[in-house]
Amino acid sequence: MLHIILVEAELELIPKEIRNHYIIRKHAKKRGKKPSEMILDSSLHFRAMYKIDDFKRRGRPDIVFLSLLGLLSSPLNKTGMLRVYVHTRNDEVIFINPKVRLPRNYNRFIGLFEKLFVEREIRTKEGICLLKLIEMNIYDLVKKIKAEKYILMDEKVDININKLIKEFKNHNDIAIMIGAFPHGDFRNDYEFADRISIHKERLDAWSVALFVTDLYYFVKLL
Ligand SMILES: C[S@@+](CC[C@H](N)C(=O)[O-])C[C@H]1O[C@@H](n2cnc3c(N)ncnc32)[C@H](O)[C@@H]1O
């Protein structure tokens, strides 16, 4: 099994400090929603965000959207050998049912995840849980997954794709962590993980996620 953890994802509801900002109120009114039940999106809310810490990297649900669409439609997921988790900047973890069919449309994805943040889970009519959000930090998630090996994808270390292949061959249950933020460094220290780079330049999270997933499929199944 390959576990992909999108770590420190910049996915959150509009923080309290800016819920009263006129940009936010205007957008909430347009959508017929409460500001406290809307996901922060820097492409829409940037002019209100300068008041919050770390504002330059926050409000990037699109990174999670693109990564999840790619991962869930990957050949590895179709074989049932992939598990995906989203860990957020506020230490929540979203458990994703591998069979969930997420909206292909960004606005509908945002609507679904807003519902998830408010209701904490999304179920089918038959009661099957598709998405579940739990307050949990990355260390507790790691204890829960209990993989044999943890690797943090990090563009700042030496490129070593051979090591990645070796680790895939040597372990049946392996977890790969990928930063789901636009820039800056990891906020946790991940001392329990080895670090690997796959390219000399910084890549987008969704590109790294698909590279790793397809490589695992190739190594284990072809
Ligand atoms: C856009 S990067 C994150 C921000 C980046 N640290 C910066 O300062 O611009 C998204 C994530 O993809 C992974 N990543 C990006 N480039 C990579 C590379 N060349 N090798 C391995 N992982 C990479 C890392 O996990 C990284 O946190």
Can you give 65-128 as a three-state secondary structure string? HHHHHHHHCCHHHHCCCEEEEEEECCCEEEEECCCCCCCCCHHHHHHHHHHHHHHCEEECCCCC
Q: Is the C-alpha dihedral spanning 164, 165, 171, 175 positive or negative?
A: positive
Residue nearest to atom 15 of ligand 1 (CA): 203
pLDDT for 122: 98
> 152, 121 in Cβ contact below 8 A?
no
Residue 118 falls within a domain, yes or no? Answer: no
Beta-carbon contacts of residue 60 (< 8 Å; ≥ 6 apart) = 9, 10, 11, 41, 42, 180, 181, 182
In angstroms, the CA 205 to CA 55 distance is: 19
Q: Which residue's structure tokens are 């997933």?
A: 213
Residue 86 falls within a domain, yes or no? Answer: yes
Which ligand 1 atom is at minimum distance from the Cα of 152? 25
* Residue pLDDT, tens place only, 119-137: 999 999 999 999 999 999 9
Residue 93 falls within a domain, yes or no? Answer: yes
Count of domains forming the chain: 1
Beta-carbon contacts of residue 160 (< 8 Å; ≥ 6 apart) = 196, 197
157 pLDDT tier (thresholds 50, 70, 90): very high
What is the distance in A from the centroid of ligand 1 to the CA of 53? 21
Burial 128-138 (b: 16+ CB within 10 A, else e): eebbebeebeb
Residue nearest to atom 7 of ligand 1 (CA): 183
Q: Residues 215-222: what's their mean pLDDT?
A: 96
Residue 82 falls within a domain, yes or no? Answer: yes
Residue 106 falls within a domain, yes or no? Answer: no
What is the distance in A from the centroid of ligand 1 to the CA of 213? 16
Which ligand 1 atom is at minimum distance from the Cα of 200? 19
Best CA proximity match to 12, nearest among 65, 90, 66: 90
Pocket test for ligand 1, best of 54, 66, 154 (most atoms within 8 A of CB): 154
| Residue 216 clears pLDDT 90, i.e. is over it | yes
- 44: its two tokens: 């829409």
pLDDT for 51: 87
What is the distance in A from the centroid of ligand 1 to the CA of 154? 6
Please give all residues whose beta carbon lies within 6 A of any atom in ligand 1, as ranges. Answer: 153-155, 178-179, 181-184, 197-199, 202-205, 208
What is the distance in A from the centroid of ligand 1 to the CA of 193? 15
| Residue 48 clears pLDDT 90, i.e. is over it | yes
Rounded to the nearest integer, the mean pLDDT of the chain is 98
Q: Name the pTM for this structure.
A: 0.98
Which ligand 1 atom is at minimum distance from the Cα of 159? 20
The domain that holds 179 is classified in CATH as 3.40.1280.10
* Residue pLDDT, tens place only, 1-34: 999 999 999 999 999 999 999 999 999 999 999 9
What is the distance in A from the centroid of ligand 1 to the CA of 206? 10
Residue 109 falls within a domain, yes or no? Answer: no
| Residue 111 clears pLDDT 90, i.e. is over it | yes
Residue 130 falls within a domain, yes or no? Answer: no
* Residue pLDDT, tens place only, 134-147: 999 999 999 999 99
What is the distance in A from the centroid of ligand 1 to the CA of 26? 34
Q: Residues 82-107: what's their mean pLDDT?
A: 98
Which ligand 1 atom is at minimum distance from the Cα of 185? 6
| Residue 94 clears pLDDT 90, i.e. is over it | yes
Q: Which domain does 171 fall in, by range? A: 2-11+60-98+135-221
Around 63, how many Cα atoms within 13 Å sit in the side-chain half-sphere?
Answer: 28
What is the distance in A from the centroid of ligand 1 to the CA of 15? 25
Residue nearest to atom 18 of ligand 1 (CA): 155
Residue 148 falls within a domain, yes or no? Answer: yes
